Every structure is written in structure tokens, then in C-alpha cells.
Amino acid sequence: MRLLLFANSLLAYSITAATSSSIAPRDNITDNVLGITADDYPDGTSSPSSVHSAHRRANSLRKREILQYDPSEEELPTAIVRMDVSRRGPHYITKVAFGEKLFSLVIDIETPATWIARTGFRCFEPRLLSELPPQDCRLGRLFKPDSSSSSFNLPGPQFSVHSINGQNLLGDPGSVSLGLGGLHRGEKTITFTQIVGAITKGYWPGDGKSSGSLGLAYYSKRGMLSGSHVYRSVLENIFGDENVPAIFSLALDGGTGGDLGIGGIPRIPIDDDSPWVQTALIPSGLDEAPTYDIMIDGFDITPHPRSSSGSAGNRYIPWPQITKLRTNTGFLHLPDKVVSYIADLFDPPAVPSPRSENIYIVPCRAKAPRVGIKISSTSYYISPQDLIQPIDVRKPNDKCQLMIQKAGNGKPALGGAWLNNVLAVFDLRDSVDHERPERNGYRSGRMWFVGREKT
């Protein structure tokens, strides 16, 4: 029996504290935050120098009906677990304990599969036809199953991961004790037994630091592993405990990486002038991988006030689009005409790269337009340092690349360059608890957004 990438199993679950001191969680404000880090990546993206502090203060919330609203602690609690996040190019990375050993995993919200490369891993080209030197896959430290405190033995099915990003990985499933959070004194930890893939061969466009991927899509395609083992995602396992609200949140940072909160939202500064909005999550098709899709209203684009481009710009371009959220790339993928329009508003204009017509090059000192994504009648803007990034980090004032690309026939997507500027809250409670009276039109869950305070 062959097991595809959507699988994981909960056998045991517990929440512990790093010390005896207790943290009284505000309903849905997370103290379980995973930290994220940032580094250079072989695709040429670099990390801007913006840094965000770590203290949340909630102000005003704006609902879908565009009414001013202050979210209660029940609606947006503090996270139970805090995880530091680092960034390596387009990848946001956090540390996860496998047994008693820590490994760095890429955060991927487009898949429920969690996997790690094991000792003896063999690197192949993407079609798995010819073997490559191990360094070509650029993996971090490899996992040795017998070094885990949990038994790692689940014979029978094969674990495989395939994606449009070029990942093509094969291995064996096994159960292991995973630990999230608790890396700082006084912070809580979530531990549970999870079925993961121990990858033995394949292709992975790695970053030299991460050893695998932490899949944070909620639903997984069901399939029996062996006997009564059910393949379940990490989030299905965590949110199976009624003491953990079915919420996780991302406060990403293009420089330092940011924070991942489990069970609520991390304590970070938000923009006092930015309203909160919420919008429904749109379920993926039956044949599609589970992704977090929302409906955007359109785009809010204006030229630089001192631009000589001669274009007046369009304050708001109504263009409703089902758009997915992505953490495994820094790029936004938008309708082709919108991307061309944005490129022309730079002064001087951004031009296609000789290497690829979908990569736009512009002088780093060019006057840039202001680009926002409008959601629930509110615009959230991309900061100048996220909109374009140096091609060569050693030459920050030379050539930059536009962090927006044409979607072509694909679904539009909002990657790290936009997510770096908002607090994104993935509220899955309506999807997990079908008895919630507040469900209304949010049966697949909802997203909450608020602007971030730039420091």
C-alpha cells in the first residue's frame, strides 16, 4: 500500500510547562509561539532588515460587515504555545523536537504532511531518474530514528511527498513524539505522538538548514497505514484536545523570521490605525490539495508621489479573486495584467529578466508604487522593503527583483512579501466544532487579519 503525503496519527497528547510557573492564557492569545528565522536562499531572494518586537496589543476589530469592533478574548485568545520562526530565503523555519532532539523544519501551510530526512538519505534529480551528490539537496541535520525516545516502526505503506515546487520525496512512515514550543524559560510545550515520514530518497530544493517540513494544512486525505492507525495531520492531532482552541497564527517577519502561535495569537505590536477584518476560508476542491483560500476584493495600487511615470494610478482595482495563502515562497502571484501594471508604475519601470519573463528587475533605488491587497473592504499594504529585494545581498543598492509574479493560469497567491505585513490568524474552530453557534457562513473556518506595526 502506498501512502501519499497527507497523513499523520495522534496516539498520545499532553501539554507541559517549561517550568513550574503557570501562564494564564487569555482566550486565544498564544503563549505557544514558534520562532522563525531568516537567511539567504539559492533563488536569489534576500532578507530585508525590518524587525518587529514581540508584544501584542489589540485595538479595533473590523468585521466582514465593516462594523468597528473590539475582539473579545474568547474570539482571539492568546496562544498557548509560542514558537520562534526564522527565515531562510522564502522558507520560514521553526524548531520541532523529535523525541529529545531538535530539528529545523520548514513551515508549509499548503500540506498536512510532516516529514524529515533520515540518515542515509539519497539525493536525486526531481524525476528520481539519476542520483545527485547529497549536497545538491542542501538538507540540514539528518534524523536517526533509533535515536528518538519514541519507537519508530510502522511497517507496510510508503510515505511520499510530491508538489508543484519540485519536491519529490519517498520514505517510510513511523510514529514519533513531537514537541512544539517550550524553548524559552516559562513557555509551555505541546507534545504528542505523530506519524511522520522518514524520507530516504528524493529531491528537495533545500536551504542548508532545514531537515524537513512541518505541514500545517488542517485536513488530510484519509488512508489506513496498517491495522487501526489513521493518518492525521499535526493540526488534527493538536486540535483534537478540547483544551487547545483550533487556532494558529503567523506573525512573519522578512528579517528576523517572526512567530508562530498555536491555540491563539502571539503577543506582537499591531498597527493602531489598522482595522481587523475577518473573511471566510473557501474549501478546496475534492481533487485539490488542502489549502487556505480566501476571496479578496481586489488591489489598491498608487504610484510613488514623486514618480515621473506619468500614470495617475488607480486607487482601487476591483477584481474579486479566490486567492491562496502561501508560506513556502516570498512571492505574490497575481493576475498578469495587474503585475504588468505594477511593474510599469516603478520609476524607472521594472522590466522582465533576460533569464525569465516572469521575474521583474528594477534598480533598488527606483521610486516604487504603493501596493495593497484589499480584503473585506480594507487594504493591507506591502512595505517597500518587502515589495522589492536585492538580487545580490552584497549589493543592496544595485539590482532588485520585484516580489510579485504573474499567476498565468494558476490560482493567485499571497506569499511572504505580503504576509510579512499582517498578523494572519487561521481560525478553524467553526470547521472543527460543527456545533458552534457562531459558525454562520464560516463552516470551513475563517481568517482574521490586522496590519503590523513596523519598527
The full DSSP string for 12-30 is: -EEEEESSS------EEE-
Based on the number of CB atoms within 10 Å of its own CB, is 184 exposed (0-12), middle (13-18) or buried (19 or more)?
exposed
Q: Is residue 243 pLDDT above 50, yes or no?
A: yes
Model pLDDT, residue 290: 72
Averaged over 265-276, what is the pLDDT?
87
Q: Is residue 227 pLDDT above 60, yes or no?
A: no
Break the chain into its structural domains and give their ranges: 2-45+77-262, 277-451
Chain length of the chain: 455
**Maximum separation of any 2 CA atoms in the chain, in Å:** 68
Cell of 330: 516570498
Q: Is 72 helix (H, G, I), strand (E, B) or coil?
A: coil
pLDDT digits (tens, 9 = 90+) for 390-400: 998 788 789 99
Fold held by 2-45+77-262: Cathepsin D, subunit A; domain 1 (2.40.70)
Q: At CA 425, angle to CA 419 and CA 431, rounded to 5?
A: 130
Model pLDDT, residue 56: 28
Model pLDDT, residue 350: 97
Residues with Cβ within 8 Å of residue 355, at least 6 apart in sequence: none
Task: Answer yes or no: pTM beyond 0.85.
Answer: no
pLDDT digits (tens, 9 = 90+) for 120-163: 999 999 989 999 999 999 999 999 886 544 556 665 677 888 77
Model pLDDT, residue 246: 95
Nearest to 113 by CA among 176, 173, 34: 173
Averaged over 291-295, what is the pLDDT?
94
Model pLDDT, residue 270: 84
Q: Tell me phi and psi for residue 385, to 5 degrees.
A: -75, -20
Do the Cβ atoms of 106 and 225 come closer than 8 Å?
no
Q: Is residue 381 pLDDT above 90, yes or no?
A: yes
Cis ω before 348 (30° cut-off from 0): yes
224 band by pLDDT with thresholds 50, 70 and 90 = very low
Averaged over 91-102, what is the pLDDT?
93
7 band by pLDDT with thresholds 50, 70 and 90 = very low
The yes-or-no answer to whether 2-45+77-262 and 277-451 have a common fold is yes
Model pLDDT, residue 72: 61
Q: Is residue 287 pLDDT above 50, yes or no?
A: yes
Lowest mean pLDDT among 39-43, 367-371, 407-411: 39-43
**Is the pLDDT higher at 40 or at 310?**
310
Nearest to 252 by CA among 69, 88, 126, 397: 88
316 band by pLDDT with thresholds 50, 70 and 90 = confident
Count of C-beta atoms within a 10 Å radius of residue 310: 8
441 band by pLDDT with thresholds 50, 70 and 90 = low
Paired with 199 in beta bridges are 117, 171
Cell of 400: 532588485
Does domain 277-451 bear CATH number 3.10.270.10? no
- What's the Cα-to-Cα distance from 340 to each of 45, 296, 367, 398, rounded to whole Å? 20, 19, 16, 22
Model pLDDT, residue 353: 94
Count of C-beta atoms within a 10 Å radius of residue 377: 13
Round the average pLDDT of the chain to a whole number and report it. Answer: 80
Q: Is residue 349 pLDDT above 50, yes or no?
A: yes
Nearest to 252 by CA among 85, 117, 133: 85
Q: Is residue 219 pLDDT above 80, yes or no?
A: no
**Is the pLDDT higher at 152 or at 246?**
246
* Cα–chain center distance at 219: 16
Model pLDDT, residue 64: 30
Model pLDDT, residue 62: 31
Nearest to 168 by CA among 292, 50, 307, 4: 4
- What's the Cα-to-Cα distance from 231 to each of 181, 296, 306, rounded to whole Å? 23, 33, 56
Sign for the pseudo-dihedral over CA of 59, 61, 62, 67: negative
Model pLDDT, residue 284: 76
Averaged over 256-279, what is the pLDDT?
90
Averaged over 270-278, what is the pLDDT?
88
Q: pLDDT above 70 covers what percent of the chain?
A: 73
pLDDT digits (tens, 9 = 90+) for 16-58: 333 322 223 334 445 556 656 554 333 333 333 332 222 222 2
Rounded Cα distance between 73 and 58, Å, is 10
Q: Tell me phi and psi for residue 84, to 5 degrees.
A: -70, 145
Q: Is residue 89 pLDDT above 80, yes or no?
A: no
Model pLDDT, residue 286: 58
C-alpha radius of gyration, the chain, whole number: 21
Q: Is residue 222 pLDDT above 80, yes or no?
A: no
End-to-end CA distance of the chain: 52
Q: pLDDT above 90 covers what percent of the chain?
A: 51
